[in-house]
Amino acid sequence: MFTKINFDKYFRQIRPLKGVLIFIVVMMAANWFWKIFVHDGDYDPNVTFLGLDITAPFRFEQKEIIRVVSLIFELFGIPFAINHGTAFEFVNRQSSDIAWGCTGLKQAFIFMCIMIFSCGSWRSKWWYILGGLVVVHIVNIVRISVVGIVLSHNPAAFDLVHTYFFKYIFYLIIFLMWVVWEEYFIKKELRTKKETGATDYQ
């Protein structure tokens, strides 16, 4: 049977993993919340949350992605056309539609949730969240650009790159941003508070 001493020893052992466990739980909960309450299917004309139309930010991000990725394709000399305002079509007749799920807003939401439940004062968190959202946007632009290049040159590799590689790379980058927050900014904040004798740590 567990005694109080055994419990104390057990919790001391798992304490270093506390942050990682929180990260995993919050990421899974945020992903579940999105799947249940946000309807953003590839063929849905609008995005809804609990019946409310929240399409506007998705449409804005969709247009911004198309604008920036078009510039990247032009920079690398990749011939393409835009069909129906949302799909890239290449000379090999392959096409890629920028659906609601390609906007990166789900990943941005998950990153925000992780940061909200992470340690640290809001005085430091807010700017890190904003910076992280910029990183998520840039990663998504790179993802769609690379997927488009692969589709235009090697369509057989599309599913591998689109469905598997970048899906996990996206979440790896979110994890790495959280690690930087925990291992650098939080420890720096703790040292500062210890030196100044402050106690208002969240």
Q: Which segment, 38-52, 128-142, 153-167, is predicted with the most confidence on average?
A: 128-142
Q: Side by side, which strands form the sheet with 38-39? A: 38-39, 48-49, 52-53
SS3 string, 39-70, reads ECCCCCCCCEECCEECHHHHHHHHHHHHHHHH
Q: Per-residue pLDDT averaged across 111-137, rounded?
A: 91
In the predicted structure, residue 132 carries a pLDDT above the cut 50: yes
Is 90 exceeded by the pLDDT of residue 90?
Answer: yes
Alpha-carbon dihedral 183, 186, 187, 193, rounded to 10 degrees: 180
CA dist list (Å): 1 to 4, 5, 20, 161? 10, 11, 28, 50
Is residue 67 pLDDT above 90, yes or no? yes
Q: How confident is the model at residue 44 (pLDDT cuts 50, 70, 90)?
A: confident
Number of other CB atoms surrounding residue 2 within 10 Å: 8
**Per-residue pLDDT tens for 140-149?**
999 999 999 9
**For position 164, what pLDDT does the model report?**
87
3-state SS, residue 179? helix
Q: E strand or H helix at 124, and its extent?
A: helix 122-153
Q: What is the pLDDT at residue 119? A: 83
Predicted structure pTM score = 0.84
Cα-only R_g, the chain: 21
Domain boundaries, the chain: 25-194
What does the pLDDT read at residue 149?
A: 94
The candidate with the shortest Cα–Cα distance to 119, out of 190, 173, 170, is 190
pLDDT for the residue 194:
63
